[in-house]
Amino acid sequence: MKNVTQVLKQLYLEAPDKVSVHLLFSRQSDQAITYRELLHGSARYAQVLKQAEIRPGEVVILTLDHGEDLLTAFWGVILNGSIPSILPFLTDKLSPEIYRKSLAALFGITAPTAVITDPDFMGEVQKASKWTSVRAIISSVEVQNRISDINEVNFDQLRGLTSPLEDIVLLQHSSGTTGLQKGVALSHQAVFNQLESYSRALDLNHNDVIVSWLPLYHDMGLIAGFLLPILKRIPLVLMSPFDWVRAPYRLLQAISSYRGTLCWMPNFAYNFMAQKTRHRDLEGVDLSSLRAVINCSEPMYWKSHKMFLDHFQAYGLRSDALATSYAMAENVFAVTQGGINSPVKLDVIDQDAFLSRQIAEPVGERYKRKNLWLQSDQNKNPSVLNMLSAGQPIEDTNVRILDQQGVDLPERHVGEIALQSNCMLTGYYHRPDLTQKALLEGWYMTGDLGYLANGELYVTGRKKDLIIVGGKNIYPQDLEYLASEVEGIHAGRVAAFGVFNERTGTEDVVIVAEVDYDRLEARQPGSSDIQDQTERIAAEIRERVTRGSDIALRYVHVVDRNWLLKTSSGKVARRANREKYLSEFSGV
């Protein structure tokens, strides 16, 4: 097996003129980048890092906008033998102060030695880097100006060429203070094992064209929408998530014009695209080349598939192109894949048995006939749940379902999903405590709930208190911290959780916060209008959380003291409060 630099060398020598990436932009024409150009650009970054005395094995943070530099900087870090980690960059809404804090949180644990960023962002990074391990802050423009063009890559001088397979090749972080302190470290070996197994599960072949709008700081974008195509010599058509969210039809136009065959999206994107794409923007669009649109990264709903199919079937989308996957950074990416050689399985189960006994009991054939895949109406049959299969485990990945004591559960019993594979994480970077907690006798405990039936995995929920919005992992404690800072709120008396929204196909974030009337009165004597006060508090929580996190907070409920349920140890019980919220405010 070769390491990443050795594979890049082979691609450079064997297919220099092949287009590796078509970069799409909203205000300029598409840019085709060959393997030769990609490696020449990457070698420049490797040279800059070497000059800055950044050594193999050191972490380099990339915070760059969509464009060629993001791609070449990433590979350049690897060519240097260092470890890249791509982070989101500052958006309009996020307050710079919060971003700086997040970077500082990351620097504290990960101890990177260099940051590569866009020129407008240098100031922020410099401020965040003071008194940290960061020795070099490199501007993408400076690299273009300072380093002359490279006409030939001398691989023998690249320190990445000799990186051992078991060394860490990259880090992946999810967002927020908590996510940034938990970098998933992956080795060359793990990455290639995943790419091999996943390619087979996908029947990946040289007629494939991958089209992606996913951000590269996200697992799905980084692996399925970047590493897989480039290292497996499959053309990639890449657009920016910022452009996609403003004009989702452009993705469909790109699929049509490049004859895209594979596309990955989180569940909400199915709803989003169906609801926000106008037919007039799709004139002449032909989606018949798509052989798999893969739903991944957040709970999958067959209603979202149906909505997507109903809307785009007229443009040639085939119903058998709808596919699913269960994936996570801790397994590099895919754990399972469904819907490639046969349609995604739909398991029609009894709702009562599922809710009361956590057993997925299939309902009789009679119901099944009434509930034919993509033709049924769940509302007419409230006692039935339509579960979408995530498919079968990919090669060399094993899945078990365990009860609370870690004992295997029988088929169709819901328990925690545990996995073991040849592509697991090396560990959480510099966090042996978290690594140890996540592994049980060599099995990674996912924190997700699900069941197995006929070799297929069905993911049904989460054991951990994680919120997933549009495929992005959000840690509730980060949001609760932000809300607690609002005046008039009891510190520690806040609960954040997700509630599924059928219209958008993803979770809405809800915050319930207890108000401290005594302190309000003391601080603002005479302000007796409680209604006004709670409205001000709710507005402030919305603003603070929106500016301080990746989400736009809509649902805030300011409640009286002692509304929130607590555990015996006095901590706010998110799950129980979510139930209480649903029973009291649902439909509000």
Contact footprint for another protein (CB under 8 A): 26-27, 92-94, 242-243, 245-248, 250, 272, 276, 278, 470, 535, 539, 543, 546-547, 551-552, 554-555
- The distance of closest approach from Cβ of residue 582 to another protein in the complex, given in angstroms and rounded to an integer, is 17
- Torsion sign over Cα 158, 164, 167, 170: positive
Give Cβ neighbours of residue 59 (< 8 Å, ≥ 6 apart). 82, 83, 84, 85, 110, 111, 112, 113, 171, 429
Question: Which residue, 278 or 380, has its beta carbon nearer to another protein?
Answer: 278
List the one residue out of 169, 449, 492 whose CA is nearest residue 332.
169
Minimum Å gap between C-beta 114 and another protein is 30
Which of 161/499 has CB closer to another protein?
Answer: 499
- The residue (of 15 and 94) whose beta carbon lies closer to another protein is 94
547 or 566, CB closer to another protein?
547
Any idea what the Cα angle at residue 327 is, between residues 361 and 206, rounded to 5°? 115
Q: Which is nearer to another protein, 262 or 510 (CB)?
A: 510
Q: Which residue blocks in 86-186 are alpha helix, DSSP H?
A: 96-110, 122-129, 140-146, 176-180
Beta bridge partners of 127: none
Q: Tell me the closest approach of the beta carbon of residue 274 to another protein, in angstroms.
A: 13
Q: 494: closest CA among 484, 485, 509, 507?
A: 484
Taking the complex as a whole, the smallest distance from the CB of residue 542 to another protein amounts, in Å, to 9
Question: DSSP string spanning 411-454?
Answer: TTB-EEEEEEESS--SEETT-HHHHHHHEETTEEEEEEEEEEET
**Nearest residue (CB) to another protein, 320 versus 485:** 485
d(CA 581, CA 584): 5
State the nearest-atom distance from the C-beta of 249 to another protein, in Å: 9
What is the closest distance, in whole angstroms, from the C-beta atom of residue 49 to another protein in the complex? 33
474, 548, 574 from 496: Cα distances, Å: 10, 14, 7
CA atoms of 346 and 546, how far apart (whole Å): 37
Neighbours of 230 (CB within 10 A): 22
Residue closer to another protein by CB (options 400, 547) is 547
Please report how many Cα atoms fall inside a 13 Å half-sphere around the Cα of residue 193, on the Cβ side. 20
Smallest CA-to-CA distance from 37 within 8, 2, 77, 5 is with 8
The nearer residue to another protein, 450 or 548, going by C-beta atoms, is 548
CB of 499 to another protein, least distance (A): 13
- Closest contact distance (angstroms) between CB of 243 and another protein is 7
521 token code pair: 């009165």
Rounded alpha-carbon distances, angstroms, from residue 73 to 183, 336, 438, 507: 19, 31, 31, 34
Min dist CB 546 to another protein, Å, is: 4
Measured from the CB of residue 242, what is the shortest distance to another protein in angstroms?
Answer: 7
Closest CA to 135 of 107, 113, 105: 113
Kindly tell me which of 396 and 543 has the beta carbon lying closer to another protein: 543
In 313-469, alpha helices (H) = 351-357, 365-370, 432-438
Kind plus residue range of the DSSP H or E element containing 496: strand 489-501
Indicate the residue among 450 and 505 with the shorter CB distance to another protein: 505
